[in-house]
Structure formats: C-alpha cells, structure tokens
Structure 1
Amino acid sequence: MSSPVFALNHMVAPRLSLDDFFKLGTALGIHQFEIRNDLAGNAILNGILPETVRAAAAGHGAEIISINALQRFNDWTLAREQEARDLASFAAACGAKALVLVPVNDGTGQAEGERQRNLREALTGLKPILGQAGIWGLVEPLGFRICSLRSKREAVEAIEAIGGGDRFRLVHDTFHHVLAGEPDLFPDWTGLVHISGVDDPSIAVDDMRDPHRVLVTERDRLANIGQIRALCDAGYGGPFSFEPFAPSVHDAADPLKMLRASMALIRSGLH
C-alpha cells in the first residue's frame, strides 16, 4: 500500500509558537496541520488575528486542515451557538478546512433517547453555521465511558437523519476507537484520523486517559498500524494526524527526532 499522508496536531508540541509548529512539520515533509484553541500561550482566539494565522501558514506552504475544537458541541445552548459562530468565522478567515466537534465528556447527557436528541439538535444548529463559513464539521466520538457520544455509528445515523452528509464527517481517533470497543470502521464517513499510542503495559484499557497517549512506538497497545491499514484498505485517503497528550512527548527535547522515528515505524509496519 502507498504511504499514509501524515499531519500534525499542535498538541504534538504545544509549547511551540504557530510559526515553529509549521516549521516542525515542514522539516518532516508534513504540510497539513491542526491548530487548537486550548493551548496556553499558543491558542487561537487568544488575541491572534486569523489573517496572521493564514499568513504564517502560507509562509510555510502549510494547509490548516482543522481547528480543534468546539467542546461540548452536543450541549446546544445560545452560548455554544455563539462559540460555534466565532470558531467557524475564524476558521474561514484563517483558511482552515474544518472544525472538530468534541462531545460532552462528564457523565451527563448519556441516557438513551436524550443523547440522540441532543446530538441531532446540535448538528441541526451547526449545519447552517458551517455552511455559511464553507467548512466541514468533524464529529469526534470519544471512547471514555463517561462520554455522551461514544459510537461512530450513532454519529453517522444522526448526520443522516438531519441531512448533514454535505457538511459533516467523522474523526476516527485510534485511541478512542479502542476504548469505545466499537469494531466497525466508517471510511466513507471519515474526514480525519487522529493517531496516538499507549505503550504502558500496566494500565487497563478502561483506565487509559489522555496523559497515557504517546507517539506510536513498537510497544503500541492500540494496534495503530492495523487500524491505519484497515482504513486505507477500505478506501480512506485522508490525513493521519499525530495527537499525543502525554507530558513525556510535550517535554521532549527533540520532537523532530521522535516524530521521525514514529513515522518510520508506521511506514515500515505497513509494508
């Protein structure tokens, strides 16, 4: 199979400025990037102009594939609607192609019927906002047991129910895919894949959390290479974006070296 197209989420090196983040990617031959609105000191919507972000990306030949993220998107309130409008406007102005949509993850909104209703209400509200901005909404189910949207199938059913196929796609996150225990892939509905690994042998799957998420190593317990192969074989041709949350990655003295090694490991495992 051909080599996957890699991308970088700013969470891979959250202390880098946007300019240095783009430099890191281009040094690796990566030209697709996810920017974030939740990084202390480096967050967008933190006083930086979208035109500044667009110019920085253009200077490095970088494509901004998403802004990550509208949190609690399926708790649709007037405040959430305004937040969505602000993020969508920023995305359009800075040249981002999509907005990642992260569901409520605090143990609320999980009841049968309630969660489906909340999801459809939010997607219905988001569709014209995203359409006006000319961007995609990328729905990211989370595998945690306390999450209000764990199932990719449930997300697809809701998107279809509100006629949102022209505006929404899924994020397949290799970490959350394992935690959710939902075996089905939805390659035709997938617009982005997040990749990260867990290599701590002592942690149970149900106890895995964001700080355990490192780059993909030879000790990976999430079968990232198998997931990537399966998605590619099923027809997915989009980017695979590194999104580690572990402090050990964020504190790395040489993120370029770590990323290069992980990319090489994945490529060799696919051939």
Structure 2
Amino acid sequence: MGGTIKFALNHMTAPKLTSRQLIDLASRLGCIGIELRNDLADKGLSTGELFDGEKPSAIGEYARGKGIRLLGLSEAYGFNRWSDAMKDKIKLLIAQAKEAGAESISLIPSNDGAIEPDEKRLSDLRGALAVILPMLEKADLVALVEPLGFTTSSLRRKREAVEAIKAIGGKDRFRLAHDTFHHHIAGEADFFPEWTGIVHISGVVDPSLAPDQMQDAHRILVDEADRLRNIEQIKTLADMGYKGAYSYESFAPSVHTDENIEASLNKSIKLIENLAAQ
C-alpha cells in the first residue's frame, strides 16, 4: 500500500492521561487525531470525567492548536435499546461534540446477550437510527456505528448496520467504525471502505484463545505475534480505497499500566508501517 498511514489514539489506550495529555502524546507520535470517551470513569479506569471538567470548547481549541483533530466522542452504549434516557444521552453527546468541534459521535450496540428474533433485533436497530438521524442532521454531525463481534452482541456484523442505515435513508449521516478485533471475532469477511469513518486497531496474541473466547481484556497494541491479521485488514481497506484514520483502541490492563506507553506505541506504529509497506 502506498502513502502514509494516518494513526490516531482512542483514550481507552491511555485512560490515565488527561485529555490534554492525550493530545500531547498524539502530537509527539505524529498522529492525526484522538477520540475522547465518556465511559472511562464508569469502567474504573480514570477518576476524570469527559473533558476533565473543562469546557468542551477549550479542549477542542487545545487540540486544534496542536494540529490534532478531535475525530470523535464515545459513546452512546446500547443505542439500539431505545428509550427517553438514551435520547437524552445522545442529545448531550451531540451537544458536546458540537461545542468541542468533534467530527463524530460513536453509537455502540447492546452487548447484553439477549436472545431475540432477527426481525425484532433489526427492527429495533432501524427504529433507533431513524430517531437519531434528524438529530444528526440538525447538528450537521456524523455518527459512527460500531458492530461488536461478540456472540452476545445485538449487532455483530457490519453488513446489517449498512443495510439498516440504507433502509432509513441515513447514508449521509452514519458511517461504520471498523474494528479489527471485532471484524476478526465475528468471522466477518466483508469490508465496507466507502462506509467506514474510522478503523480501530488492537492486537491479540494469546495462542490458546479461540476467536469466540477473545475479550476486550486481551486487546494489546499490535505487535509481531498479532492474531487478528491487522496488517492484512489495513492493506485490504487501503487497497479498497479507505483513506481515513487507524486509531489505537487497546483495552488490556497491561497497556493501561504501561509506564512507557509512548515508546510502546511508537514501536507498534513503526512495525505496522514497515509491514504494511511490504
């Protein structure tokens, strides 16, 4: 593949950093942008709230001053289980994104293991997207839908997301988050570069795990022993025309506690660049 890979950092990869520290790290690593999250405290990974108590506009201005794009704000989890509370959560996320100058918000499907007929599951998905669509149009914003490949997920495959978006006329306001981990564990062969707004990258190396046994805690930085075929996925997406960012999203405790995370990320970035160029 030709050209320079555009790397980014999801706050999940370095949750103990403040928003400004994450922006600084991204700048030093030569990344193009970052993704901020509203769930780090809920997951016990940080004591800080989204934007660390600062105004979203202040963080957005700081990022732009460093030449860093605020690629997105995460997340509205369980968006396809619609309720008044979910509507309020998405309204708030949209307002924060607009104030900060973020380019998107993230919509994450429920991963509750509920058993339901496909007809209802997909009807609920379309219904939620249809309500969210005018909210996005009013704000002139894009939402990224991220299928989760877990067997317990209510939306495992990107094709279903694309079909639902088409069905409600949302092609101008919705894009996919292609996650190399979830693509692998879902056993999905389809790529949708023209629908992809961002790619999340992470690696799994434990040789004892079958794909359906892989969980977020196994997701480290991409290295030589990666089992998710990140390089192959990156090459495929690039060859098919995807030109967007590849954002590190690692959930493993070993990454969160890495005192040399900058050096570790730099090593992984160089590895991916070298292997992708071959």
TM-score by length of 2: 0.95
Task: Report whether the alignment pairs 1:259 with 2:253.
Answer: no
- Code of the aligned partner of 1:28: L
RMSD: 1.2
Q: State the match for 1:185 in structure 2.
A: 191
Corresponding residue of 1:2 = 3
SS in 1 for 2:118: coil
Say which SS state the counterpart of residue 246 (structure 2) adopts.
strand
Q: Report what 2:127 is aligned to.
A: 121
The equivalent residue for 1:97 is 103
Q: Give 2:13's aligned residue.
A: 12
Distance 1:45 1:19, change over 3 A: closer
Contact 1:8-1:241 at 8 Å conserved across structures: yes
- Counterpart-to-counterpart distance in 1, 2:185 and 2:87: 29
Secondary structure, in 3 states, of the residue corresponding to 2:49?
coil
Q: Is the 8 A contact 2:32 2:245 kept in 1?
A: no
Separation of aligned partners in 2, 1:229 and 1:19: 32
How far apart are the structure 2 equivalents of 1:108 and 1:199?
Answer: 29
In the alignment, structure 2 segments of 5+ residues that lack a partner are 42-46
Offset, 1:47: 3.9
1:218 maps to 2:224: yes
Unaligned runs of 5+ in 1: none
Name the CA distance, whole Å, in 2 between partners of 1:204 and 1:217.
19
**TM-score, with length taken from structure 1:** 0.97
Q: Please give the alpha-carbon distance, in whole angstroms, between the structure 2 residues aligned to 1:112 and 1:149.
A: 10
**1:231, CA displacement in angstroms?**
0.2
Aligned residue in 2 for 1:173: 179
* SS of match in other structure, 2:185: helix
Which stretch shifts more, 182-191 or 59-68?
A: 59-68
Number of the residue aligned with 1:65: 71
What is the Cα deviation at residue 43 of structure 1? Answer: 3.0
The answer as to whether partners of 1:73 and 1:104 remain within 8 angstroms in 2 is yes
Q: Which runs of 4+ in 1 moved over 6 A?
A: none
1:243-262 deviation per Cα after TM superposition (whole angstroms, max 9, x unaligned): 00000001001111000110
- What letter corresponds to residue 201 of structure 2 in structure 1? I
The size of the alignment, in residue pairs, is 271
1:249 corresponds to 2:236: no
The aligned residue for residue 33 of structure 1 is 34
State the SS of the aligned residue for 1:66. Answer: strand
CA distance in 2 between counterparts of 1:64 and 1:21 reads 11
Alpha-carbon distance in structure 1 between the residues aligned to 2:112 and 2:127: 19
- Contact 1:54–1:95 (Cα < 8 Å) also in 2: yes
